[in-house]
Amino acid sequence: MVTPEHLSWGGVGSYVMQLARNLPSDFEVHLLCLKNDRTTPALDDRITVHHLGRSRDAFMSNNQFQLALWRSFRELNDAHRFDLVHSNHAQMADLLLKVLGTEVPSVTTVHSTIDSQRMGTRAAGLPLGKLESSERMTYLLLPLLRTAERIYMRKSSSFIFVSEFIREMCVRCFGIGEGSRVIHNGIDTTMFGPKDLSECIERFPMLEGLENIVLFSGRMIALKGIPTAIRAQRALGRPDVHFVYAGNGSYEQWEGMARQAGLDRSRCIFLGPVSYDDMPYLYPLASAFILPSYSESLPLTILEAMSAGTPVIASSVGGVPEIIADHRDGVLVPPMDHNALAEAISKVLSDHRFARSLCMRARDKVQTEFSASVMARRTAEVYRSTLEECS
């Protein structure tokens, strides 16, 4: 499996880690990824991790990883005799392998496309200089990235799509995806399950005594709708409500935006990066989880919050409606509508019976439809069918 993310950083890194952990026992798994300063999560003995560099800036790390993978793959393949390469898009981490050729068959999971990312970033309405570096580079190199993406898609033969939304987009844009499998993302529902609140506070002592916590978790980029969240908190007008932001990336500009909106540090709290192993203890401290993104395919953070028993409020974009049934197991709001987001937050915080009903149905749904074991079983079927076709 190939990912230019560290295993505890980003949605694709988490996806690869959960998939590797839950594949049937007859699979020997090699993870080709980046290393960062955090501890690599514990993995089974049958899983071997090969670090091909260090993760820093998301855009530049991806480019460096592509080159490192191309340089290292022949030697790794000679040593381990890979039967299959599983890559992930829109990162195109194995672009050079696909273009220059390799005899090893591949499966590509499509998480997003260049255009779906660009549309989400554009919706934020921020000037280029205010965007995070990876978003800014996507804008500046858009023609080149689109060309590379078209080549990458043509060179890929077997696809998995994480949502029906992204599959339909690829059918329209690239003429691919007809007949390919949609396999929704899955999570560890035991890991993201009920927790002792005292243990949660031990890990996040800065949140002790706070009530009405509204949590955001994700990369600190414009596409995730952080401007809408800040405006929603201001519109909410409740000093007793605390917005907590957890995620990778620079948050200084968002902190500045919050201060300009009159939100002090006690009401708008930026935790910075939180490890994957600590996240299951953060969700239970929140009275609501929000993801006001402008574009999404099938976000893992929504599944994690639902599984952890936290009411979810999210933008009705991309594949999110494939997860949430509005007002049944979560609340959907229009993207970029901070007033609708504020109203939904107020409803969840004030109507405890409604919030509890959302949580009960949400956890049941994730355990049944969005577990990592279900995702891995379906993915293993694609592996086997791909190998049969290539034999």
Same domain as 345, residue 378: no
Evaluate whether residue 292 is within a structural domain.
yes
The DSSP result for 292-331, as a single string, is --S--SS-HHHHHHHHHT--EEEE--TTGGGT--BTTTBE
Q: What is the pLDDT of residues 96-107, one digit of tens each?
A: 999 998 889 999
Identify the pLDDT of residue 82.
97
Same domain as 224, residue 142: no
Evaluate whether residue 341 is within a structural domain.
yes
Same domain as 382, residue 340: no
Same domain as 144, residue 114: yes
Same domain as 332, residue 384: no
Evaluate whether residue 262 is within a structural domain.
yes
CB atoms within 10 A of CB 179: 6
Structure-derived torsion over alpha carbons of residues 37, 140, 110, 384, reported in degrees to the nearest 10: -70
Evaluate whether residue 182 is within a structural domain.
yes
Same domain as 378, residue 365: no
The β-bridge relationship of strands 29-35 and 85-89 is: unpaired
The DSSP result for 138-171, as a single string, is HHHTHHHHHHHHHHHHHH---EEESSHHHHHHHH
* Three-state DSSP string of 117-138: HHHHHHHCCCCHHHCCHHHHHH
Place 43 in a pLDDT band, splitting at 50, 70 and 90: confident
Same domain as 182, residue 203: no
Same domain as 290, residue 167: no
Do 48 and 17 touch, CB atoms closer than 8 A? no
Residue 75 has pLDDT above 60, yes or no: yes
Evaluate whether residue 109 is within a structural domain.
yes
Same domain as 299, residue 224: yes
Same domain as 158, residue 42: yes
Question: What's the rounded Cα separation, in Å, for the pair 7 and 170?
Answer: 26
Do 307 and 189 touch, CB atoms closer than 8 A? yes
Same domain as 178, residue 258: no
Question: What's the rounded Cα separation, in Å, for the pair 86 and 131?
Answer: 31
Evaluate whether residue 82 is within a structural domain.
yes
Residue 372 has pLDDT above 80, yes or no: yes
Which of 8-17, 65-74, 174-183, 193-202 comes out lowest in average pLDDT? 8-17
Evaluate whether residue 244 is within a structural domain.
yes
Average pLDDT value over all residues in the chain: 93
> How many structural domains does the chain have?
2
Q: What is the pLDDT of residues 131-180, one digit of tens each?
A: 988 899 998 999 999 999 999 999 998 999 999 999 999 999 999 877 78
Same domain as 85, residue 14: yes
Residue 215 structural domain: 197-369
Write down the pTM of the prediction: 0.94
CATH of the domain at 347: 3.40.50.2000
Question: What's the rounded Cα separation, in Å, for the pair 108 and 94?
Answer: 10
Evaluate whether residue 229 is within a structural domain.
yes
CB environment 315-342: b (16+ within 10 A), e (fewer): bbbbbbbbbbeeeebbbbbebbbbebbb
